[in-house]
Amino acid sequence: MKFTNLARASTLGVGLAVAATPASAETLTVGAHLPATTDAGLEIETISVDTLSGSKGAQLAYELKDALQKARAQNEPWFEVITIGATPVDAIIQGSAGIQSSVIELEPKGERKCAEKDNDNKCVRYKTTYYDCSRTEVSFYPDIEIIAQDGAILYAARDEMTRSKEACTDSNSQASIPEMSDGLVSGFAWRVRSALAPRFYESQYRILERRKGLEKADRKAFKNAVKLTKSDEDAACDAFKALEASNPQQVSVLFNVAMCHERNGEFALSLETLQRALAIEPQKLMALESVDRVEGWMRAADQLAARAEILNRRYADVEQSDEISEDGGPAEDG
């Protein structure tokens, strides 16, 4: 079994995602993988969720299974979630989850309204209605560990997560303890999923439109390139890139070219171009934000490449072992 280089596939996926997304005014569409917040899941292919203790253990176990089953990279499942005890797995999730809730009474809310008006439509008598108010608080206490076959702890998370909501009896939106606790449980499950596996993300990001410092002919070409982002992002990028050689110090040109590299999955080129723009305007916020974003894409690409290498090596070892078993022993030299 041979696994393709998922890092390269990720880069190709960016181009496909861009082509499928309609362009919007003054933006370019970028799609790539966000990195997992840790490297703990790189070697985990099969995983089980043990029975979790506590009042919310069963619900958290269900949410974890669901979140991990849906984790994908390049449309391929990242994990195979297996029923506990059915077969040996790479890792097991163990732990507990509890919940506490309280309702605290607050000062009543008074609402003063006119109860009677005279012939001139002026209020002559007011009535104050009081409504009971309260604050509902829900606290969720998850505590989990992901344990490898050799007993090593690959990942651990322990937290106290709290939500609160204030409401009075006149409100159409009342606090619901089950809904609040459900949100906390699913939010924690998503955090674990995000810690273990990259995920594909696509969005539209604004380009820069300032033309100061461009020659007259280039100003017109730049304006046309901006207009092209509404209908043909590839053509817009070609136009921006054509301006770079004659405008190596113009920040808008550099920034937009960097975004074009980014949308094509050319992250190292994008980062280098952004750094040139920041050398001219070190405090350019959009460029600083783009650097963070591109570095994130690069971290994810590294994770995808590491994952592909791990799985290729793992299955190469399995195939070699199968060949030895079929032959009845290792092949002799000569």
Phi-psi region of 89 (alpha: psi -120 to 50; beta: other; left: phi over 0): beta
What secondary structure letter does DSSP report for 85? T
User: Once rounded to an integer, what is the mean pLDDT over residues 218-228?
Assistant: 95
- Average pLDDT in the 157-184 region? 94
Which amino acid does the sequence have at 317? D
Helix (H, G, I), strand (E, B) or coil at 127: strand
The confidence score (pLDDT) of residue 75 equals 83
pLDDT for 322: 59
- For the segment 236-245, the average pLDDT, to the nearest whole number, is 96
Residue 18 has pLDDT above 70, yes or no: no
Write the pLDDT tens digit of every residue in 71-127: 998 889 999 999 999 899 999 999 999 999 999 999 999 999 999 999 999 999 999
Cut 0.85: pTM above it: no
The pair of three-digit structure tokens given for residue 294, joined into one six-digit string: 């591109």
* pLDDT(24) > 50: no
Q: What is the pLDDT averaged over residues 228-234? A: 95
Whole-angstrom Cα distance, residue 111 to residue 114?
Answer: 10
Domains of the chain: 8-35+202-296 (1.25.40.10), 36-197 (3.30.160.150)
At residue 74, the pLDDT reads 81
Q: Is residue 165's pLDDT more than 50?
A: yes
User: For position 174, what pLDDT does the model report?
Assistant: 87
Contact yes or no for 250/287 (Cβ under 8 A)? no
Q: What is the pLDDT of residue 8?
A: 37
- pLDDT class of 287 with cuts at 50, 70, 90: very high
Three-point CA angle 240, 244, 250, nearest 5°? 100
Q: Which of 136, 146, 134, 142 is nearest to 46 (CA)?
A: 146
> Of all residues in the chain, what percent carry a pLDDT higher than 70?
87
Under the banding of pLDDT at 50, 70 and 90, the label for residue 11 is very low
* Cα 10 from chain centre: 15
